[in-house]
Structure 1
Amino acid sequence: MALILLGINLVMYSMSSGYRQHNFFLSLENSSTIVASAVLQKEKADDYYAVKNSIFQHLVDEEEYILRIGQDKNNIDFPASLPLHESFYLEAINHGRARYYNNGVHYVGLFKKHVAGEDDILVISSARDVEGDAYRKRLKTTLALAFLAAVVVMTITTIFFSKRLFGPMVKIMKKVNSINAFNLNDRLEKEHSLDEISELQDTLNEMLQRIETAFQSQQDYVSNISHSLRTPLTIIAGEAEIALSQLQQGHKAAYSLQMIMQETEKLKHIINILLELARSEQNMQANGWSVLRMDELLESVKEVIYKMDSSYKLKLDYSNFPENDAMLYINCNVHLLTLAICNIILNGFKYSDNQDVKLKLIAAGNEIKLLVTDSGIGIDPSEQDKIFDPYYRGSNTSNYEGFGVGLPLAMKIIKMHKGAILVNSIVGQGTTMEVVLPSLYAEQLV
């Protein structure tokens, strides 16, 4: 609207200024006509000048030049005192009149032929339109002030009406943004507003109801499938362990039972990854958080790793063990954090063809760092930011089995614990995953 109004003001100013200038040129031409008539009819000159003085007001800096044009129009001596080009005089002679404006001065050329065969007359009149300049200045100021006032009024009214119109929309957006997986039962409050906004509120409430129903069904499914899958796997592993304990040492079936137990543990771990990935957001607010020493957690991780495959060689490095044991305590969900660290370690074994993996514990003030180092295939630098995307697998992992969900789940769990995972890898030489977690020691100091 401001641009439209500005355009209207410019058009108005241009038209008004042009009209004023056109009228002033007409006044000069009429004055020049009387002067030319007085020159051509000398006997009535006094009468013409009397008419001119009575009808036309005196113009500021008015000057008149009278040029007599003989038969030879090609040899005309134009006055050098006037800032006029020769084309101006020729236009006046050929067309009877000419106009020119320069530096605030208006010039009019009027050509009159002498009917008696004497020299023709070219009258050049010039003057300043002081009143017109003042008028244009006042008009410019008036339009500028009117434009600014209109913009201010439009801005104020726009803000006022936009708040009235879009205020409910802002409330709706804030409310919708505050709804997540843990408060899906919240609904938008109905307000007295436009019918369209009321319909939008009803539509969003209906959508939230459908989402809550679907989400609850998913949670029930995850809970049921978790129990249904884990129970038979636990029974299989238990029965295999019992059968293995009853066999004599060196029995032919011992190896098969050991493989059954190891593969069952791997399958349980894969199922845990998939289930925990599906309900990681739910677990973020769930109970099960406790204070634990990190070295104790790592021993549990080592035990879980060896259950999956006794051939794994995980080397724990406590060379940077702190003198103050309080620096080792963290607030964590033991089950989830164990799962995350196991995923990282198992990746190290898998992509290094079961070579040794080193796990180093470092406690430094307000942070606890875990360095998981392998000597595997490494990760290309261009892919290091993508390995934490669900179902993404590196370009050099085609010869290895996997689903691309272990590291994404690990990252979710570590972020849930207000930590981070840093990657340092060289293709063909190995990878170091650095897990950084906040220590309770820093909170105690505060």
Structure 2
Amino acid sequence: MTIRSKLSLLFTFLTAAILLVFAATVYISASRSREAEFYKSLKKEAITKANLYFTAKVDPATLQAIYKNNRETISEVEVAIYDTSFQLLYHDALDIDIVKETKKMILDIEKKKQISFYKDQWQVVGIQFDHRDKKYAVIATAFDQYGYKKLSNLLSAMITIFIGSIALIYIAGRFFSKRAFLPVTEIVQKVKRITASNLDLRVDNANGKDELAELSATFNEMLDRLESSFDAQKQFVSNISHELRTPISALITELELALEKDRAVEEYREVLTNALGDAQKLVKLSNSLLDMAKANYDSSKIAFRQVRVDEILLDARQELQKQFPEYRVDIYFENEFDIDDDISVHGNEYLLKVAFANLLENGCKFSPEKTILVTIGIQEDKITARFTDKGIGISKENLPHIFTPFYRGDNKKYADGNGIGLSLCSKIVALHHGELSVDSEPGKGTSFLISLPHV
């Protein structure tokens, strides 16, 4: 069932319940009002008949004749008069006798002055009537044919109005729910047209202030992120293809040239050396891509624990110097620390080592002296690590783009690389809720500053 149908039915049921409560209240109120009015009418008839009998001295036969004549056309009140000793003085129709009075009834009237009750659907009123210092019991009863007819007409009218109102409300609910959900229908139709090939399409109605406008705006924001992600993925695949093509093409060319004719041992050695270099580039590129993939994982799926920054930095230096013995890394602590927590962060050891190793390699690679200085600062809420070299520096034009994957600026003519290292460092630091900033001056050197929050 659609939301539109659910809302229409819910609105109809709610309105039906309200109408039922209202109708029941009106009907019960009308019924009680009829009952009270008819009891008053019976009391007046009882007093009138008693006055005619006692005061006006109207002959009982005349009174009975009036009763019988009226009874043929209207629901006439039947009256009976008793004294306190249960002696019947007058009765309109003893042969009918709807009430069938008892001595207990007369005693109740004498005690309570007035009683009222139902005899089947006939209403009965009994009152005490005083005449010449004597007390009498006057009982009047009648069937409120007119009142019940009015109640029946009222009930029929309410049922008819109720059914008609429910039908009208349901139709109106369907109409207005359709109007209300028209923007949702338009959003659904627009979303159905959005595919991977046209992510530039956007949902309309995003400029209002209601919930649907908020939904449209949120959906458009998601499309912006998806479009950026798709564009980045396309660019990433394009860059990977380019980076892989270069060493593979060089490797194939070297091997094809070597196979064209017989060559001397030294020439074969040179070919194998070149092929080995290209293969190492491929290995390094694949490792960098694997590290970048890990850095792009959801942080909730990466194992984090308390790790010491100084130990990770020393491990990164050791691995770097195994591969490049000529590189020199100096580590300096700005202040002392007493406990492990002072030099520890909540992070992933492998990823932090990758980030540190990339910064160390970059500093040494682009520095004529192959030297980099790492300064560790311990603060109350964070740990900072500044990587400073005296290399070629980065121009102002290239500086804003250095964290873009596969971007290589003017420094590509000084050393080999694939443009992944710095973007990888940026992702790893962001994954650890830290900050990475850079300060560089061409010809004087570059300084990268990593800030990581404490455990």
Shorter-chain TM band:
0.3 to 0.5
TM-score, normalised relative to structure 2: 0.41
Using the size of structure 1 for normalisation, the TM-score is 0.42
